Structure 1
Amino acid sequence: MENSSKGIFWLFFSKFFPPIINFSVFAYTARILAPEDFGLVALALAIIFIASSFMPSGWRDAIIKYQIEDVLTISSIFWLNLAVSLFLSAIIVGFSLLSFFDFQSQTFNLAIMVFCLKLIFDGLFYTLNIVLLKQQLYSLIALRTIFSAVISAVIIIALLLLDFGVWALIWAQAILSIANFFAVYLPTRKLVTFQFSLASIVKLNSFATYSTLTNGVTSALNHYESVIIGAVLGKRELGFYNVAKRLSTIISDIFIGTVSEISFPLLAKKQEELIEFRKAFMNSVYFSVLCLFPLFTFCFINSERIFLLLFTEKWLNAVVVFQAFCIMFAFIILGIPQKNIIILSNHAKWWFQLQVKLSLIIVPLTAASAYWGLNSLLIVLVLGKCLNCSVSMWKSCQLLSLNIKEYIANFIVPLICCIVAAITTSLITQFIPPFKFILLDIIISATIFFITYLAQLLLFDRKKLVNIGLILLPNNHHLIMLAKKLNIQEPQ
């Protein structure tokens, strides 16, 4: 458990600093470029991400699912991902050369060709990164990822200073993907040889096929709305949407991404024993809500200040989009452990079918709502996340023989504490005159919010807090002493 705690620290470390570096570059770029520039890049990237939904990601997941270690199978999965990414890139290049649509300007077509590099190297990166995750080599992931982020940031800043304009934003994506690949290739290069076994690929089909379809549909559903916004509302509206989404994604990658990458392998180790499986699931959900709900609640109530501080007034139209993402993340936070339970319980086929059925409802509604404006589209997106989370909640509880009321009661206290803290902070800050520096307003708001939140938790949920603390830090002397005072015998 101590190694697990260190692993969590290193994984968070690797998730926190590279996005901060990349975000600094992104924020500087947003101050220079126009919303239309961001819209062009967002539309090109959306097409790349939708193309990447056809990547054989299920075979990568199989490395953790079946704890694969042999070089032949890992190499086969690596070369399979390379072959598929090259095939998809060839299709995209053909699409850019033919120019079927009005939005395919020369800059757009060149940008999407550059992004093919991202498609190729991302596929290889995720394959090898999963090998490191399986081995729990979090310190290597942290050091290599930070190094690649620094190198790519230096190159991007140089392009900005040389007045490359929108091309700095375009090359930022490709350079980071290339750097990330080499960051994970160096410690895993001995596991990748010039071998390929079709039999090794075929034997994983039962799990990998449906996992691939599930991941593919999920990825497509995460990016299809950008194509709709760009086509219906235009590149300017897509620019506002993209900046809000990128800010949300950076926060999500740091925190939600860390929880996801930790929970899947840990839950996988408990999957053989139902009671332990259920206990790990409940702890995962509680810890996720405890840490992440207050973060996104605070961002929601301070969204306008955050955008003024980071991007200036020209991006204020993106505030409502960012607030919508904060609401959606509440459902995503709950959905991650639910999805992991469903996949690990060999119900990947059911999950895939659910995504297909929901997409048949949500995608047409999203496309139709775009004609009524961006706000209508955002409402549909939030409702879609809510519906997805609700159905997967029912299924995961069914698989674990868990009562839904018991499941909700597990995290109801931190949820209520978030709401009360948000209301209290909003009321108090109304009586505080705004400072000249927006950062001071945000700091004061954060102080009031998190003190209110933590005070409520210590008052109403102290035993559970100590219990979670003992699971993460079982040898902590202060936690052990506090547990004895509260009559907590062992972590549950």
Structure 2
Amino acid sequence: MTLKQKTFSAVRWTAVAAVARAVLQVGQMAVLARLLSPKDYGLMAVVGVVLSFAAVFADLGVNNAYVQRQGVTQEQRSSLFWLNVSMSTGLTLLVVAVSPLFARFFGDEHLTPLLMLSASTFVLSALGQQVRMAAEKELDFRPVVFLEIAAAALGFGSAVVAAIAGWGVYSLVVGGIVSATAGTVLAWMFVARGWRPMWRLRIGDVRPFLGFGGASVANDIVNQINMTIDLLLGGRLMTAAQLGLYSVPRNLTLQLQFMVNPIITRVGFPLIAQVQSDVARVRSIYLKTLNMTASTNAPLYIGIAFFSPEIVALLLGPKWTESAALLRILAVWGFLRSTGNPVGSLLFGMGRADIALKWNATLLFVVPPVMWVGSLYGPDGLAWALLAFSIVMFIPGWYLLVRPLCHAGLYEYSLAALRPFLLALLSITPAYLLSAQFDVPIVRLTGAVLISVPLYLISSYLGNRDWFSAMIELMGRKVVST
């Protein structure tokens, strides 16, 4: 297969995985939101923040370095594997030890057992992580997709069964543990291709990876602070119920990004790494990645912003009515954030984790104060602070991150990122106005989809031909040039 054929194959399979995971996640949310309370989700939001910080240290960033670096020896790979497992085991024990301190800081003793149990996923995931990444490095996503879908399905089923059995917030923990265990077991069964690590862990083997990995870890640390500071402040200043009402729509918008963006960015990272010496090709790949993600995200996020009350009513139920206004603000924030996400593939594919670190370290002096001011006005203030900050940082992000590495101009960068937003707005506005005559939420949403989808495809064909042609090609059809 040519590099282009491998790329489209990888994108197809990551798309299958993303859609399947999204269906399972939305299904789990729809079921569990009716079985659990906003307080339960507020507690797990705090658990997620704590674990996300700890997870940064799980492998010292060497797994990303393994994907980026070419010509890795079997000795090096074995040492990297055991380093990952050792670090993850140590982190699990550390989180277990300090869980009471976190519970005391956030003022809720229920966090102690939740953190202790959830920490076990570090080791469970580490045992299969490098095996999966080895397949991704070769752009062989097909087997990875099947195991990810299976693991997510098992986690979903376990969480629902536990919730029905009355386990409350612990059903979310059970789902995570089962999913991590299944992912690792299936990876060794279907992705390892007979590879087994040697009993070898030597500093000389991993030293070449630590420079890139160290910068990656440092970047991830400050990035996690910037990304989760709103939840940290919410956990400290708001009740668990308030935090739940905020965190669930926030996570919903992020889940859309986690569904769509990895379809492209998971392929973009190793692809850029393979052509990193050719700046013109890197620029072309990055701009196409940006346009693909923005064009796919735009109608989803704009649709959510227009129909947030209907989505909350159908997906979450009557207990979450207050989240509708927050979801509308966070949907616009989610789109803007999604346009910045592909830059990670560019930075890491070019081996420039140091630039990402400098950028996020600078933001560390800006984001916390902005979020603190927003937190003074409750969940609404946090949502508006996120949106305002994303708007302000659009041009600085291009100037300091994109332009130096691939020489993309502001016009072509803005065109790739914002043109889909305008096309989606033009397509969904008439659908919103025409469906307003119906009172039943499901009828309004169905009518809006039937009207807006054809309009968006037509407008994309006329005004965003690259994305439209790529979609046709991804479906296995040849594009007829005119």
Shared fold by TM > 0.5?
yes
1:116 matches 2:119: yes
SS at match of 1:101: helix
How far did residue 467 of structure 1 move?
A: 5.2
SS at match of 1:286: helix
Match of 1:406 in 2: 412
- Say if 1:110 and 1:410 are closer, same or farther in 2 by CA, change over 3 A: closer
1:329 matches 2:334: yes
Distance 2:89 2:345 in 1: 29
Verify the 8 A CA contact 2:78 2:199 in the aligned structure 1.
yes
Match of 1:7 in 2: 10
1:167 matches 2:170: yes
Decide which of 182, 187, 208 is 1:203's aligned counterpart: 208
Decide which of 419, 423, 429 is 1:423's aligned counterpart: 429
CA-to-partner distance for each residue in 1:2-41, whole Å, 9 max, x for gaps?
Answer: 3332222222212222342243233211102111111112
Match of 2:56 in 1: 53
Q: Which moved more, 1:332-341 or 1:256-265?
A: 332-341
Match of 1:64 in 2: 67
1:358 matches 2:363: yes
Match of 1:36 in 2: 39
Distance 1:210 1:158 in 2: 41
Verify the 8 A CA contact 2:99 2:115 in the aligned structure 1.
yes
Match of 1:190 in 2: 195
Report 1:19-168 matches (<5 A).
19-97=22-100, 101=104, 103-168=106-171
Q: Which moved more, 1:279-288 or 1:148-157?
A: 148-157
Distance 1:327 1:366 in 2: 17
Distance 2:132 2:390 in 1: 28
Report 1:302-313 matches (<5 A).
302-313=307-318
Decide which of 264, 268, 283 is 2:288's aligned counterpart: 283
Q: Which moved more, 1:335-344 or 1:97-106?
A: 97-106
- Say if 1:154 and 1:411 are closer, same or farther in 2 by CA, change over 3 A: closer
CA-to-partner distance for each residue in 1:53-112, whole Å, 9 max, x for gaps?
Answer: 333352111111113543322222222222222222222222224576264544321111
Q: Which moved more, 1:168-177 or 1:185-194?
A: 185-194
Distance 2:154 2:218 in 1: 34
What is the identity percentage for the equivalent residue pairs of Structure 1 and Structure 2?
Answer: 16
Distance 2:317 2:472 in 1: 44
Q: Unaligned stretches of 5+ in structure 2?
A: none
SS at match of 2:70: coil
How far did residue 44 of structure 1 move?
A: 1.8
Distance 1:21 1:456 in 2: 31
- Say if 1:340 and 1:387 are closer, same or farther in 2 by CA, change over 3 A: farther
- Say if 1:99 and 1:429 are closer, same or farther in 2 by CA, change over 3 A: closer
Q: Which moved more, 1:161-170 or 1:297-306?
A: 161-170
CA-to-partner distance for each residue in 1:328-369, whole Å, 9 max, x for gaps?
Answer: 222232212323223333432122011011121111221232
How far did residue 195 of structure 1 move?
A: 1.6
1:390 matches 2:395: yes
- Say if 1:388 and 1:195 are closer, same or farther in 2 by CA, change over 3 A: farther
- Say if 1:140 and 1:124 are closer, same or farther in 2 by CA, change over 3 A: same
The number of residues matched between the two structures is 476
Q: Unaligned stretches of 5+ in structure 1?
A: 487-492
Distance 1:370 1:407 in 2: 32
Verify the 8 A CA contact 1:42 1:242 in the aligned structure 2.
yes
Match of 1:177 in 2: 180
Distance 1:233 1:98 in 2: 19
Q: RMSD between aligned alpha carbons?
A: 2.4
Match of 1:243 in 2: 248
Match of 2:348 in 1: 343
Letter paired with 1:193 = M
Match of 1:489 in 2: none
How far did residue 290 of structure 1 move?
A: 1.9
Distance 1:26 1:57 in 2: 32
How far did residue 179 of structure 1 move?
A: 1.9
Q: Which moved more, 1:320-329 or 1:25-34?
A: 320-329
How far did residue 466 of structure 1 move?
A: 6.0
Match of 1:264 in 2: 269
- Say if 1:23 and 1:419 are closer, same or farther in 2 by CA, change over 3 A: closer
Letter paired with 2:84 = N
Distance 1:47 1:340 in 2: 25
How far did residue 442 of structure 1 move?
A: 0.8
Q: Which moved more, 1:383-392 or 1:311-320?
A: 383-392
How far did residue 232 of structure 1 move?
A: 0.2
Distance 1:373 1:242 in 2: 12
Q: Which moved more, 1:258-267 or 1:156-165?
A: 156-165
Verify the 8 A CA contact 1:68 1:74 in the aligned structure 2.
no
Verify the 8 A CA contact 2:103 2:110 in the aligned structure 1.
no
Letter paired with 2:253 = S
How far did residue 412 of structure 1 move?
A: 4.7
SS at match of 2:110: helix
Verify the 8 A CA contact 1:55 1:216 in the aligned structure 2.
no
Verify the 8 A CA contact 1:67 1:134 in the aligned structure 2.
no
Verify the 8 A CA contact 1:71 1:191 in the aligned structure 2.
no
Letter paired with 1:400 = C
Distance 2:331 2:106 in 1: 30
Distance 1:170 1:267 in 2: 36
